[in-house]
Amino acid sequence: MTDCLVENARIVTDAGLQRGSIATEDGSIAAIGPDLSASGADAETVVQADGMVALPGAIDVHTHMHDAGLFPDDIDIGTQTASAVAGGVTTVVELPTQTPVTTPAALREKRARCEDRAHVDFGLVAGNFQDGDVDVEGFLEAGVPEFKTFTAEPYRADDAAILDLMTEVGAAGGTVRVHCESQAILDDARARLDGTDPELYPQSRPLEAELEAIGRVGWLAEYADCPLHVVHISSGSGAAVADRFASRANVPVTLETCPQYLAFSADDVADRGPFLKVNPGLKSPDEVDRLWQAVRDGTIDLVATDHFPTHREDRERGWDDIWVPYAGLPGVETMLEFLVNEGVHEGRLSWPRLLELVCARPAREAGFFPRKGSLAVGTDADLVLLRNEGYEVSAEDLAYNGGWTPFEGRTWNWRVDTVVADGSIAARDHDVLAEPGDGSFLPRGPRVSTG
Ligand SMILES: [Zn+2]
């Protein structure tokens, strides 16, 4: 029997938009076709999607949602996956923040806590590794093939430690993810700055810090024969440096960027102040243009958010002293709407390219494909419908409980209407109907190369 019938949507495919209906059964996609009204006559829920665009549920492979030692009580995988599903993200990959997940035992504990609360399916990443002494096989047995490390504080590993980690992880078929900024350049830049003004912040995270670290880490990965995922590339030049290693194709290299690096430049900090405090820092308008080009032409493989939740009051303190609040932006709920509006609607991206950036490629890179990332029969019944309607972005309209968004006041024309997860209506108009615990942990195997 059909659980959910989505009628007459414009479905995004590799080739473009195609009018059709989608039927789900027992949490999977049961049928897709031009007219399913006969076979879906017994559907429990019918969604009339005339004029709406249908995508597979988006996948955010980079979030920070759960850290009992760091985040306040009301910020955890429960409230943050509610924000995710409200914005059409039906799968997340959660990374460590302050509390180490550097042993399989710590991982199992985090998994259990997240399973109790998650509104959407999730995978986990181990980290943050500051030395090379890692039980790689133990993590693989626990369903986690990805390992996070940093070239910068507060979780900095030195080159020898990164090389050790890469050697072990590469041999076992895992992937190392690296935050790439040079600590030496960051330290020097910071020492030259005097004052507390928000506009100083981007100056404390120079472009060269990113370029130097991506290059260094690229050579280390190539030498160690280890698949590399460069997280949150913040500049077009950074994408170009990372692409040198990706093009050599000796080992897979995945290039990720985030909406904040496409939406904002350092010039926007004058207006938005601490609400744009983020690491890596924002770059010049020229670098933003070059980054859009890299997203469009396929140099960048995927978009994720680096979602980092904080409360508005906490962030406000940065107006007086930008060095006080934590760096990081909430973004999981606005990622898809940002890319549809400022990417597709503005003519920078095609619908098929969007599908690749936030559904298909993340699913393949993270090891969720073919279960996630496409609207094929037999895959998980996770999908999102967007409707065409003008509005002004306001944190008040979001499910996110931190009370702010860096996109406040932007004028957009596409909005998430309905989200289906596991065959059930999970959100409507950013109101969350999914429940804590609806999401499941997704164990992942060693990496399969996708080129
Ligand atoms: Zn991160």
Quickly list DSSP for 263-305. H--GGGHHHHGGGG--SSPP--HHHHHHHHHHHHHTSS-EE--
Q: What is the SS3 assignment for 339-359? A: HHHHHHHCCCCCHHHHHHHHH
Q: Could you tell me the CATH number of the domain that includes residue 91?
A: 3.20.20.140
**From ligand 1's centre to the CA of 46, what distance in Å?**
38
Collect the ranges in the chain with pLDDT lower than 70: 249, 448-451
Distance from the alpha carbon of residue 152 to the mean position of ligand 1, in angstroms: 12
Domain that holds residue 31: 4-54+381-432
- CA 279 – ligand 1 centroid, Å: 9
Q: Report yes or no on 448 lying in a domain.
A: no
CA of 307 to the centre of ligand 1 (A): 7
- Return the pLDDT at 116: 96
In a domain, 26, yes or no: yes
Same domain, 105 and 72: yes
Query: How remote is the CA of residue 177 from the centroid of ligand 1, in Å?
Result: 10
pLDDT of residue 1: 79
| Domain co-membership, 130 together with 227 | yes
Compute, in angstroms, the gap from residue 308 CA to the centroid of ligand 1: 8
- Cα of 306 vs centre of ligand 1, distance in Å, is 4
Let me know whether 11 and 142 are in one domain. no
The count of domains in the chain is 2
Question: Domain of 32: which CATH number?
Answer: 2.30.40.10
* pLDDT score, position 450: 47
Same domain, 89 and 223: yes
pLDDT at 446: 86
Q: How far apart are CA 93 and CA 86, in angstroms?
A: 17
Residues 6+ apart with CB under 8 A from 218: 228, 230, 241, 242, 244, 245, 253
Task: Assess whether 48 and 62 both reside in one domain.
Answer: no
Ligand 1 center to 130 CA (angstroms): 15
Question: Considering the domain boundaries, does residue 374 fall inside one?
Answer: no
Coil, helix or strand at residue 43: coil
pLDDT at 260: 98
2 CA from centroid of ligand 1 (Å)? 39
Q: How far is CA 348 from the centre of its chain?
A: 20
Q: Are residues 63 and 27 in the same domain?
A: no
State the distance from the centre of ligand 1 to the C-alpha of 94, rounded, in angstroms: 9
80 and 140 fall within a common domain: yes
pLDDT of the residue at 448 = 59
**66 and 205 share a domain?**
yes
Predicted confidence at residue 447, as pLDDT, reads 72
Residue 372 domain flag? no
**Residues 103, 41 share a domain:** no
pLDDT at residue 39, rounded to an integer? 81
